A and B are shown apart, each in its own frame.
Chain A
């Protein structure tokens, strides 16, 4: 664990023309002995004190990546948005000096076809125009209007899952028996994974499997879909002008992304509400608050400590921040969402606040493509859960203690969330 006390105040040279001490410089360069790694002293609902300290010192802080190279972490909201909107920052992992490559490239069983598919169509590793071409092939099935069309099916999936949760008896693990199964079932429904393959989808993509095993499954599902086109995302993808390799690559991304984060948000939102009785009462008294509350859930409980790192393709200046060509830049939604320059009393959980503008779904051209669907799932899950379990309380949640997070994209884990009811 990073010891926040070991992070000393960085040495900053202050020329005569510097602003007064009350307005600190936007960037502080660290001396070599002061190497900073992503801090592990936060939990999903208690932001890292170290990140808060860095945010106070500067908009961007030098960061030591796990593979040893140096770059930046952006902690202030305004700069975070600017970086995510700026095409001078490339998303291609091949520009990174170190370990970040496509999934599976270091796995012994991976075949060339699978690697090629990942290279051409990993939405999270492409720049425009190829990114726009691939993203546009699936956009139509994730629009606000398209998502309204899924509402009845999503509601039915959640109603059935709530009965399953109740059948476990109180207390039960909400993550295992409610949040994760909902995310998997909705993923299958919207993407169009045949019901014959739903169980295997869960085994491979909720459980653990090699990239090659996942790609073999992707090919099998796509072969079935090609013979039975419908109104789902995979059918749309197959009908598009993308090549077969691109279709396989995008399908892999869609199978891998967005499911665990929805499960995380359902679990973490439940912990947040049950830990803030005044907010829980407010939402129970006025269920129409849910629309704005979802934005607060996404702001307050954001999963991504950092997003996929970008690489500067040229020297970039943002005010006092100077980023050199080739530098890696990681934006922290968790830090930016708690920036008091953007959100008043940011560490307060307040479902009535205006939380729009949070970076819980990212921002820029790589902003979450499934965010309207995620909003629907979270809204339906929380609304049905509160209505169906009036005596709900939190027994214990693993996520209330700091846990290790995934790398190189640092995310919080939902962990087990035991809830009881009477």
Chain B
């Protein structure tokens, strides 16, 4: 799995940092910071959850083939 986060569309609602704090943080301006773009398999569920909850659809998950 690969995660990407679009800082241009991020609106800083903090949903990702709330539900997947090991994968996402927010910088001093409130904008998403990706803590690692290749999550461990045990983190796949929260990664998908963060992406689905993002109100700005700023998080993209690319599942491995």
Contact = CB atoms under 8 A, between A and B. Distances in A.
Interface residues of B, number: 21
B52 interface: yes
B25 to A, nearest CB: 7
Given A135-B11, A139-B12, A139-B29, A144 B55 contact: no
B2 interface: no
A136 B12 contact: yes
Interface string B8-32: 0001111001110100011111110
Interface residues of A, number: 27
A160 interface: no
B11 A142 contact: no
A367 interface: yes
B56 interface: yes
Interface stretch (A41-49, A69-77, A191-199, A356-364): A356-364
A144 B18 contact: yes
A398 interface: no
B13 to A, nearest CB: 5
A240 B36 CA distance: 30
B11 A365 contact: yes
A277 interface: no
A147 B26 CA distance: 11
Interface string B28-43: 1111000000000000
A140 B13 CA distance: 10
A142 B49 CA distance: 21
B18 to A, nearest CB: 6
Contact of A357 (B12, B17, B52, B56): B52
A251 B52 CA distance: 31
A235 B56 CA distance: 26
B21 A367 contact: no
B55 A142 contact: no
Contacts of B30: 136, 139-143, 146
A12 B36 CA distance: 51
Given A139-B31, A356-B49, A144 B56 contact: no
Interface string A182-216: 00000000000000000000000000000000000
B8 to A, nearest CB: 9
Nearest to B13: A367
Contacts of A135: 11-12
Nearest to B17: A144
A302 B30 CA distance: 25
A132 B11 contact: yes
A14 interface: no
Given A140-B28, A140-B30, 8 more contacts: A139-B30, A140-B29, A142-B30, A145-B26, A365-B55, A365-B56, A369-B11, A369-B13
